[in-house]
Amino acid sequence: MAAASLLCHVIARSAPAGRSRRCLLHSDPHTAHPLLVAFSRLCAHGPLRDALALLPDLAAAGLVADPVAVSRLIKLCVRHGAPSDGRLIHRHVFGGGNGAAPSCSSLFVSNSLVSMYAKFGLLDDALRLFDGMPQKNVVSWTTVVAALANARGRKEDALRLFVAMLRDGVAPNMYTFSSILGACSTPRVLAAMHVSIVKVGLDSDVFVRSSLIDAYMKFGDLDGGRRVFDEMVTRDLIVWNSIIAGFAQSGDGVGAIELFMRMKEAGFLSNQGTLTSVLRACTGLVTLEVGRQVHAHVLKYDKDLILHNALLDMYCKCGSLQDADALFGRMPQRDVISWSTMISGLAQNGRSIEALKVFDMMKSEGPRPNHITMVGVLFACSHAGLVEDGWYYFSSMEKLFGIQPEREHCNCMVDLLGRAGKLDDAVKFIHEMNFQPDSLILSHI
C-alpha cells in the first residue's frame, strides 16, 4: 500500500495512544574521577580535539562518561562540521558501532547521534542506528521523520515512518507534525494529517497551525490556509508571516497587503520575513505607494541584503528607477542578485545604455555575472538595437564567465536579430541553437 494511502487508512481507523517511553539517566559512580571531570569540561567548552583525545583514555581506564557530556561532545562535532569525529564517538559509545548498545549508552545519547547523522545529511547512518535502537521515544521518531521529510526524494519514506510511529503507539508531538506536514504530497494526505492533528489535540498549537498554513499554501489552497488562520484564538509573528507569505507567493498580492495591514493594526512589529513577502506582493501588483511605506520599515534593517534586494526589485518593477538608483548606490553590500536586478530593471524600463554601463561596473568591481545577469544584458542590447554588442556578449559569455547559453539567452538573441531586421540571421540562429524553438522565440521573427 502506498505511504499516502496507508497514512489515511491508519488515521481513519485509530488515534495514536498516549503511551510514551522515558529513559532514566542514572548517575555514574565514577563522576568524581579527574579524567571524567576534565572530559565533561572539554565537551562543554572545547576544544573538540582535546575532548576526542580523552576517549581512548576513558576506555582504557574503564570509565563511563556521563551521557550529558557525550551529548555535548556530539553537538560540538556538529558545530565543527566533523562527521568523521561523530562516527568516532559513535564507535566509542557503542563499542564498535555495530548497534549493540553497551551499558554506557542511553536513549539520550542515541537520540543525539541520530540527530547528528541527520544534520550531516547521512540519512542511511541515521536510519541504521534508529532501526537498531532497542528503545525509542517521540524524540527518536521525530528526528528521523523530520530528516526524511526535508530530504530530496524521501517524503514517501517520511510518511511510511510516520505511520509506523502511530502503529507503535508513540504519540506525535508538535515538532513531529510540523515536520511531516511538509511531506504531504497531495491535498488528500494533507486533509488526513489535519484530522490526525485534531484527534491528538494539537490543532490549537501555534507552531503546528503555522505549518498547516504553509502546507495549504503549498497546494495553492488559499481558502484552506485562511480558514486555519481565522480559527486561531492567539497568533504570533510566525503565523502572520506564514499567511502573508502564502498569499504573496500564490500571486494574491491584495490579500497579502490586506493581511499585513491587519497585522500592524493588531500591534505586531514586522521583521525581515514579513517585509520581504509584502515587497513581493507590491512588486506583483506594481503598487509603488505601499512599497514606499514598506521601505520605511526596511530602514532598521540597513545591512539585510535579501531585504534590500527585494526592495530594489520592487522599485525596478514599479518603474521608479530614481528610487532604485538611489537605493542601489546606498546599499552597504551588493551581490550578483543586486547587480542583475539593477541591470534588468534599467533595460526593461528603456534605459539600455545605462544598463550596459552598470554591467561594465559589475565586471570591474562586482561579483561574477550569472545567467540571469546575461539575460538582462542581452535584453538591453536587443532593445537598444546593439547587434554587434549582443553577438559579442552572447558568443563570449561561456568563455569569459563560464555561462552556457540557455533558452532565455537564445530568446533575447532572436529578438535582437528580429528587431534589427536581420530575419535570415534570426532563422539561421534558430536552426543552430541547441533548443527546440517555442512560441515565444518564433514570435520574434
Q: Is 2 left (phi over 0), alpha (psi -120 to 50) or beta?
A: beta
User: Has residue 40 got a pLDDT over 50?
Assistant: yes
The answer to whether position 359 is within a domain reads no
CATH of the domain at 215: 1.25.40
In terms of Cα–Cα distance, which of 423, 404, 405, 403 is closest to 414? 423
Q: Which of 67, 100, 133 is the last residue of a domain?
A: 133
Handedness of CA 270, 273, 277, 283 (dihedral sign): positive
Q: pLDDT band at 104, cuts 50/70/90?
A: very low
Give 371-404 pLDDT, tens digit per residue.
999 999 999 999 999 999 999 999 999 999 999 9
- The answer to the question of residue 424 being in a domain is no
Q: Are residues 58 and 128 in the same domain?
A: yes
Handedness of CA 127, 131, 132, 137 (dihedral sign): positive
> Is residue 125's pLDDT more than 60?
yes
Mean pLDDT confidence for 352-370: 94
Over residues 176-181, the mean pLDDT reads 95
Condensed to tens digits (0 to 9), the pLDDT of residues 54-69 reads 999 888 888 888 899 9
Q: Is residue 357 part of a domain?
A: no
Q: How far from chain centre, in Å, is Cα 383?
A: 36
**What percent of the chain has pLDDT above 90?**
66
Contact 177, 213 (CB under 8 A): no
For residues 6-12, average pLDDT:
45
Residues 221, 148: one domain?
A: yes
pLDDT higher than threshold 50 for residue 19: no
Same domain as 142, residue 129: no
Given a cut of 90, whether residue 33 has pLDDT beyond it is: no
Q: Which domain holds residue 193?
A: 136-234
Is the model more confident about 362 or about 61?
362
Q: Answer yes or no: do 142 and 172 share one domain.
A: yes
Residue 116 within any structural domain of the chain: yes
Handedness of CA 69, 144, 213, 208 (dihedral sign): negative
Task: Kindly state whether residues 140 and 226 are assigned to the same domain.
Answer: yes
User: Does residue 375 lie within any of the structural domains?
Assistant: no
Kindly state whether residue 215 falls inside one of the protein's structural domains.
Answer: yes
What is the pLDDT confidence band of residue 441, given thresholds at 50, 70 and 90? confident
280 or 442, which is more confident: 280
Q: So what's the pLDDT on residue 32?
A: 58
Q: Summarize pLDDT for 203-212 with one digit per residue, the tens.
A: 888 889 999 9
Q: Residue 105 domain-assigned?
A: yes
Answer yes or no: do 47 and 127 share one domain.
Answer: yes
Where a domain ends, among 320, 351, 368?
320
pLDDT at residue number 94: 82
Does position 351 have pLDDT exceeding 80, yes or no?
Answer: yes
Residue where one domain finishes, among candidates 234, 258, 280: 234
- Statement to judge: residues 129 and 140 lie in one domain: no
pLDDT for residue 92: 87
Residue 11 pLDDT greater than 60, yes or no: no
pTM value surpassing 0.85: no
Answer yes or no: is pLDDT of 101 > 50: no
Let me know whether 114 and 143 are in one domain.
no
Whether residue 97 sits in one domain with residue 64: yes
Q: CA dihedral in degrees (333, 336, 337, 341; nearest 10)?
A: 100
pLDDT at 206: 85
Do 277 and 316 fall into the same domain? Answer: yes
CB count within 10 Å of CB 174 equals: 17
Does 96 lie in the same domain as 59? yes
Digit-coded pLDDT (tens) for 106-120: 899 999 999 999 999
Average pLDDT estimate for 264-293 = 90
Total domains present in the chain = 3
Based on the fold, state whether residues 256 and 181 are members of the same structural domain. Answer: no
Output phi, psi for 71, to 5 deg: -65, -40
Residue-wise DSSP of 200-236: TT-TT-HHHHHHHHHHHHHTT-HHHHHHHHHT-SS--
Residue 270 domain flag:
yes
Higher pLDDT, 360 or 234: 360
